[in-house]
């Protein structure tokens, strides 16, 4: 794994009466990686992002950008970050080009017109860049916001809920832009509540709850089990044979019947290597199998499993 471009260690934010709204959060992001920051409302995602970009002060902990500590050289670190926290702000009566020019004037280093043209092409706003922003759709405004964040050539892009208000086409376009940026070596930290979209967009996700980091998952390994490749498989048979199939499975101690879908599909938890044997068992019993589908674990399922488990633990601790 390459050196971390963003290194967060033991981040904590304490507010009135000593309450920690972010506590002991540590994670790293690598070059060209899209890292998702997930969590239910109030988990501390936006507070964490605000501390990273310097909008609010950290109570403790450290933030390093490309090996430089934010406390030791904040100006160098901030030059490496492009961010959209909440909704990007524009002058609606000005064109997209004029908005980018205005933003470029505030940059520490000069931004050339050539650089602006390259960014406009990247976010595919060439045909609308000289139109007034008030005519832009939400998706176009989001793309213009990404363009603003990229003007000063940052190595890290930080986006807080960038898909808010976007239609499916706009979300797909944003996903494609971020992947193109990743291919160019730009790393992106993105927070969102759209779990299915995050599964498609990200290389890896970290999950927060109640101010703490509770899990880290590589998307490509989401469906891999540590229990000798235990998996979930759906076997579809005739409705009039479902009870016979159910009895056959319940007689096998190595297979767990999770539930029955639509009165004709048994959803089973079993070892991957035993799928052919189970199918053979059905056939030998005269049960017609019309479809076999391995069900992949989704990010949403894992997220809900983690947060629900922790909530139940909290309830039990209170009761005890």
| DSSP states along 55-112 | SS--SEEEEEETTEETTT-HHHHHHTEEEE-SSPP--TTSBHHHHHHHHHHTSSS---
Q: What is the pLDDT of residue 282?
A: 93
pLDDT digits (tens, 9 = 90+) for 169-210: 878 888 888 888 899 889 999 998 778 888 888 999 999 989
Residue 312 scores a pLDDT above 50: no
Q: What is the pLDDT of residue 223?
A: 59
Residue 159 scores a pLDDT above 60: yes
Q: Which of 104, 287, 298, 313 is nearest to 214 (CA)?
A: 313
Residue 216 scores a pLDDT above 60: yes
CB 276 within 8 A of CB 257: no
CB 176 within 8 A of CB 11: no
Residue 311 scores a pLDDT above 70: no
How confident is the model over 89-109, as a mean pLDDT? 87
Within a 10 A sphere around the Cβ of 318, how many other Cβ atoms?
A: 7
Model confidence band, residue 308 (pLDDT cutoffs 50, 70, 90): low
Go through the domains of the chain in sequence order and give each one's CATH number: 4-221 (3.40.50.300), 230-295 (3.30.70.2250)
Residue 224 scores a pLDDT above 50: yes
Model confidence band, residue 288 (pLDDT cutoffs 50, 70, 90): very high
Q: What is the pLDDT of residue 28?
A: 95
Q: What is the pLDDT of residue 200?
A: 87
């Amino acid at each position: 794994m390459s050196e971390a471009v963003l290194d967060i260690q033991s981040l904590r934010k304490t507010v009135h009466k000593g309450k920690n709204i972010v506590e002991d959060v540590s994670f790293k992001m690598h070059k060209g990686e899209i890292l998702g920051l997930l969590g239910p409302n109030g988990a501390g995602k936006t507070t964490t992002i605000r501390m990273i970009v310097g909008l609010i002060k950290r109570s403790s902990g450290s933030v390093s950008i490309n090996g430089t500590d934010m406390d030791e050289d904040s100006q160098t670190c901030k030059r490496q970050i492009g961010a959209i926290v909440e909704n990007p702000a524009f002058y609606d009566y000005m064109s997209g080009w004029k908005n980018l020019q205005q933003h470029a004037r505030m940059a520490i280093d000069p931004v050339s017109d050539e650089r602006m043209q390259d960014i406009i092409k990247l976010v595919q706003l060439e045909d609308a860049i000289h139109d007034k922003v008030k005519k832009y759709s939400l998706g176009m405004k989001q793309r213009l916001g990404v363009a603003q964040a990229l003007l000063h050539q940052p190595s890290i892009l930080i986006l807080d809920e960038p898909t808010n208000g976007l239609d499916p086409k706009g979300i797909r376009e944003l996903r494609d832009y971020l992947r193109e940026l990743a291919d160019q070596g730009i790393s992106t930290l993105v927070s969102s509540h759209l779990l299915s979209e995050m599964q498609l967009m990200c290389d890896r996700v970290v999950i927060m709850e109640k101010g703490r980091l509770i899990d880290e998952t590589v998307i490509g390994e989401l469906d891999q089990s540590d229990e000798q490749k235990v998996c979930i498989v759906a076997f579809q048979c005739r409705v009039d044979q479902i009870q016979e199939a159910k009895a056959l499975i319940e007689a096998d101690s190595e297979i767990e019947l999770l539930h029955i879908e639509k009165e004709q599909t048994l959803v089973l938890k079993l070892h991957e290597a035993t799928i052919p044997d189970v199918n053979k068992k059905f056939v030998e019993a005269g049960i017609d199998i019309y479809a076999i589908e391995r069900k992949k674990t989704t990010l949403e399922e894992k997220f809900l499993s983690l947060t629900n488990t922790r909530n139940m633990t909290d309830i039990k601790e209170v009761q005890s």
